A and B are shown apart, each in its own frame.
Chain A
Amino acid sequence: MAAESGKIDPMHQFEVTPLGGGFNLGGHEVLFTNSALWMVIAAVVLGLFMWGGMRRQLVPGRWQAAVEGFTGFISNMMMANIGTEGRKYTPYVFSLFMFILFCNLLGMLPLGVLGLHPFTVTSHIAITGVLALLSFSIVLVVGFWRHGLHFFSLFVPHGTPLPMIPFIAVIEFISFMIRPFSLGLRLFVAMTAGHVLLKVLSGFVINGFNAENAIIGSVVSLLSFTLMIGISALELLVAGIQAYVFALLTSLYINDAVNLH
C-alpha cells in the first residue's frame, strides 16, 4: 500500500543528504551530512548524560546512579569476559556501547511528528562496518602484539586430535575472518529492518485513513497503529540489545586476543 501510493518510501529515511560545509580531504569530498549531524547530536547527548553523573558523590543521586549503572554494566562485563586485564579496554568498549546505544535510541525518537527527520546512524553498513573493523583491528593488534605468531594457535582449539587440525584450523580461520562482517551486518540489519517495518506500518496508517472505503481503511489504520506501538517497544529493546551484543562480542573477541584459548 505504501509503495503503491508513491508518497511514502520506507527507504527514504536512510538516505544521507548533505547539509553543506564541504571540504576536500585527500581527493575526496567531505560534506557535513544529516548522518554527521545525528552522530554529533548523539555525542552531545551522551556527553551531557555522562556530565550529569560526574558529581562523584559518595551516595549517588538518581542521575549519577544511572550513569554508574552503565559504567558498572560495561566494566562488569569486561571483568567477567576478560578478567582484570579487561579494564584497559573498558574505555573503548564503553565508548562503543554508548555511541551505538545513543545512535539507536535517538533514531527512534518520534521527531517526525514535529516535521523533523531523525536519522539512525547505526542503520548504515558504512558506519557499523567501520566500527566492526575497528574492533577487529584492535583484536589483531592486541593479539599479535601480546602473543606474536603464537596468536595463530587461536585457530587450533585445545585438545583437537592431530589429524583434525588442518580441517579445524581452516574452519576456525574462516569463522575468525567472518567476525567483522557478522558484527557489522548484525547491527546494520537489525536497525534497518526495524525502521523499515515501522515506516511501512506508518504508511498503512496514513493510507488507511485516506482510503476510499473509510470503514475498512480505518480498521486497517487502527490495527497498524496498535501494531506500531508494540513494535516501537520491541525496537527500543532491540536498540539496547544490539548495542549490548556489539559490545559483548567485541569484549569476547578481545578476550581471545588477550588470553588466547
Chain B
Amino acid sequence: MPQIAQLTADNWYLASQLFWLLVVFAGIYVVIGRGMLPKIEATVDARDRKVADDLAAAKAAHAAADTLDESYRQQGDASRAAAQKAVADAKDKAAKDAEKRLAKVDAELGEKLAAAEADVSAARSSAMAEIESVAAEAASELVAKLSGVKVAAADAKSAVKAVLHG
C-alpha cells in the first residue's frame, strides 16, 4: 500500500503532502469559504426574504380583496332591500289609491243610481196616478154606456183604486 509505505519510507512524501494540502485547503477556505460562500448565501437569503415579503403582500392583498368583496356584498344586500321596500311601498300606495278612487266612483254611481231610482219611482207614481184617472174615467164612461147610470167621479176613482191596488 503506497499510501503507508511512502509515509514511512520517503522523506519528501509527508512534507510535500502536508505543505500542498495546507496551501490548497487554506486557499479554498479563504477564497471560496470566506469569499464566495457568504455572497451566495446572502443572495439566497435576499431571495428568501423577497419571496416571504411578496407572499405576505399577496396575502394582505387577498385579505383586502375579501373585505372589499364583503362590503360590496353588504352594499348590494342593502340596496336590494331598499329597492324591494320601494317596490312594496309603491304597490301599497297604488293599491290604496285604486281603492280610494273605486270608493269614490262607487259613491257617485250609488248617487246616480239613487237619483235614477227616484226618477223612476216618481215617473211610476205619476204614471200610476194618470192610469187611475184614465181608468176611472174609462170606468165611469163604461158604466154610463152600459147602464146609463152616472157614477160620481170620486166613486169611480175609489173603485178603480180598489181594483188596481188589490
Contacts and interface: CB of A to CB of B under 8 A. Distances in A.
Interface of A: 11-12, 14-16, 18, 22, 25, 28-33, 35-36, 39-40, 42-43, 46-47, 50-51, 53-54, 56-58, 60, 67-68, 71-72, 75, 90-92, 94-95, 98-99, 121, 123-127, 130-131, 134, 188, 192
B116 to A, nearest CB: 99
A50 B36 contact: yes
B112 interface: no
Contacts of A130: 17-18, 21-22
Contact of A94 (B6, B7, B19, B33): B33
Given A28-B15, A58-B50, A92 B33 contact: yes
A36 B43 contact: no
A188 B20 contact: no
A16 B27 contact: no
Given A16-B16, A125-B4, A99 B36 contact: no
Nearest to A21: B16
A39 B15 contact: no
A28 B12 contact: yes
Given A14-B3, A58-B47, A126-B3, 17 more contacts: A12-B2, A16-B6, A18-B12, A28-B11, A28-B15, A30-B19, A31-B12, A33-B20, A46-B28, A47-B28, A50-B37, A60-B47, A71-B44, A90-B33, A126-B14, A126-B21, A130-B18
A99 B28 contact: yes
A25 B21 contact: no
A46 B20 contact: no
B32 A95 contact: yes
A46 B32 contact: yes
6 contacts: A14-B2, A25-B19, A40-B24, A43-B24, A125-B7, A131-B21
Q: Which 3 A-B pairs have the closest CB atoms?
A: A91-B33, A28-B15, A36-B20
Interface of B: 1-4, 6-7, 11-22, 24-25, 27-29, 31-34, 36-41, 43-44, 46-47, 50
B16 A31 contact: yes
Given A54-B40, A67-B40, A71-B41, A126 B32 contact: no
A30 B28 contact: no
Contacts of A95: 25, 28-29, 32-33
Query: Is chain A's interface secondary structure helix, strand, loop, or mixed overall?
Result: helix
A35 B36 contact: no
Given A31-B12, A33-B16, A58-B50, A91 B3 contact: no
B16 A47 contact: no
Contacts of A42: 24
Contacts of A94: 32-33, 37
Contacts of B18: 126, 130
A28 B18 CA distance: 11
A51 B20 contact: no
Contacts of A22: 12
A225 to B, nearest CB: 26
A196 B11 CA distance: 25
Contact of B1 (A14, A16, A90): A14
B32 A29 contact: no
Q: Which of B16, B32, B34, B46 has the most chain A CB atoms closer than 10 A to its own CB? A: B16
Contacts of B13: 16, 126
Contacts of A40: 20, 24
